[in-house]
Structure 1
């Protein structure tokens, strides 16, 4: 799928958040649905793995979301995802081709399904607009702790916040979601990509011999949301320079059955912030100053 389609979907979500008057985090998808006269219905999942859906069956559509996973951030993301199907051009028409009801599995787990990926990126932009996310991530708290702070401030799931952090991070960061011995998906920040010629970690491929792989061997680590931090290197995971050391921060995602791994480094973050400060100083030094009232 063309990357610009996903970028446009995310930007559309950001525009909706702005148009609905949200200037600070959190953005409330339930209130946005209310402004559109969309009924929101909490109900049990109708099938395993289903997060929610949207029904185009009345004068106004309705959205339902599953409650079997008791996680407010996940449910808010699900509602935001369904709003993507409502707001994004072509989605209602695509859905109505086959049925008035569309069932989703929100959360970047739809593989190559175009409208599902677009709805996920819409939800990400809606709940964590770029400027607001960057402001939170620029607080100086890096790695998993910074992601947890963003998740708390935006009232989003940890995985959604992690993906958004990788997209907006002012310092090099990569996040990986895995299940058992295999990779589910990986996102890298632009700063992380610039660290060298790196290998992209693809969905379905085995985890390398690592702390994350060892962590996943014990299902209780995932089920109970345990944490672990180990030192690794860019070479161990991404075939990059071996001298670049990283923190491999691991947390089990409980009933989701997945594990989140965050790769970052205090040293890399400090360098990134120093470069930002130097750039800001340079811009300021070239900014014309005018004398008024003379």
Structure 2
């Protein structure tokens, strides 16, 4: 059974400081991170599902946050990773002392990509992603692996988090530098990479069609399938700059998801 010294946690003021203290006290945690156990150890007395589209998560506390109850959205078969992230988000509100206790959070509030949110919601999201996808555990599990869709799927399953959230954090690690291109109906949504490892300029902008010569654009396959790895000209996706010269060949692989969504992985050979 996990135990936490909440007095020590009270000395942490930022999401990172708080997560660092949790792992200092619980160094033997392995994936998947036991978010419910940690919440109970921190003073949460109940964690309950709710079935509503208007609320993603909710925290109800005593006046001085001496106890708390977390509610998380379980409607419409919410993926387990989404449920876990919401619980972590509400736990962040509970443990960060400058956050008010009683909170109701919308779908937009609970987001792994939290750039447009107000500071309080962003801090709760930062806490949740740092807690559930901690760098020291991700590095241990993925750093020696060759980046591929299959390996990223295995890591996301191991951590019981969404493929997108897990894969994006894994771009810091792996045995080869790689980038991820997210698209819908063959139009680019965004590209995620570690700019220190993959510094090249993109050949396409957000909203533009994927490169015509790419496997991701040409293949027509069933949903929830993964393509073979193929060699492609790096200039298909990236372009040279004065500071960074492209390799000639890269490896391309695409995950064909539902409703026209795709994830294309580009890695160096």
In the superposition, the TM-score normalised over structure 2's length comes to: 0.73
Partner secondary structure for residue 237 of structure 2: helix
Which residue number corresponds to residue 5 of structure 1?
A: none
- Bigger fraction of residues in helix: 1
Selected match of 2:208 from 206, 223, 228: 206
Per-residue deviation, 1:167:
2.9
Which residue number corresponds to residue 249 of structure 1?
A: 253
The change in CA–CA distance for 1:168 and 1:235 in structure 2 (over 3 A counts) is same
Once the two structures are superposed, the pairs formed by residues 55-70 of structure 1 within 5 Å of their partners are: 55-56=59-60, 58=62, 60-70=68-78
Q: Is 1:178 equivalent to 2:183 in the alignment? A: yes
Per-residue deviation, 1:170:
4.9
Deviations 1:259-290 (A, max 9, x none): 2222213x3xxxxxxxxxxxxxxxxxxxxxxx
Selected match of 2:50 from 31, 36, 43: 43
Per-residue deviation, 1:172:
0.6
Which residue number corresponds to residue 263 of structure 1?
A: 266
In the superposition, the TM-score normalised over structure 1's length comes to: 0.67
Q: Conserved in 2, the CA contact under 8 Å of 1:233 and 1:242?
A: no
Q: Conserved in 1, the CA contact under 8 Å of 2:203 and 2:237?
A: no
The root-mean-square deviation of aligned C-alpha atoms, in Å, is 3.3
Per-residue deviation, 1:101:
1.6
The change in CA–CA distance for 1:11 and 1:201 in structure 2 (over 3 A counts) is farther
Deviations 1:26-61 (A, max 9, x none): 2111111222333322232424xx6x2123454524
Deviations 1:177-232 (A, max 9, x none): 222343333321255334xx423976x432432433456xx7x84xx312224433
The change in CA–CA distance for 1:67 and 1:15 in structure 2 (over 3 A counts) is farther
Once the two structures are superposed, the pairs formed by residues 64-143 of structure 1 within 5 Å of their partners are: 64-88=72-96, 90=98, 92-93=99-100, 100-105=103-108, 106-109=110-113, 112-115=116-119, 116-143=121-148
Residues of 2 paired with 1:233 and 1:120: CA distance?
A: 37
Q: Conserved in 2, the CA contact under 8 Å of 1:29 and 1:76?
A: yes
Q: Conserved in 1, the CA contact under 8 Å of 2:232 and 2:249?
A: yes
Which residue number corresponds to residue 155 of structure 2?
A: 150
Residues of 1 paired with 2:177 and 2:86: CA distance?
A: 28
The change in CA–CA distance for 1:263 and 1:119 in structure 2 (over 3 A counts) is farther
Which residue number corresponds to residue 225 of structure 1?
A: 224
The change in CA–CA distance for 1:129 and 1:211 in structure 2 (over 3 A counts) is same
- Bigger fraction of residues in strand: 2
Which residue number corresponds to residue 234 of structure 1?
A: 234
Deviations 1:133-186 (A, max 9, x none): 111112334322321222122222211210110133453111232223433333
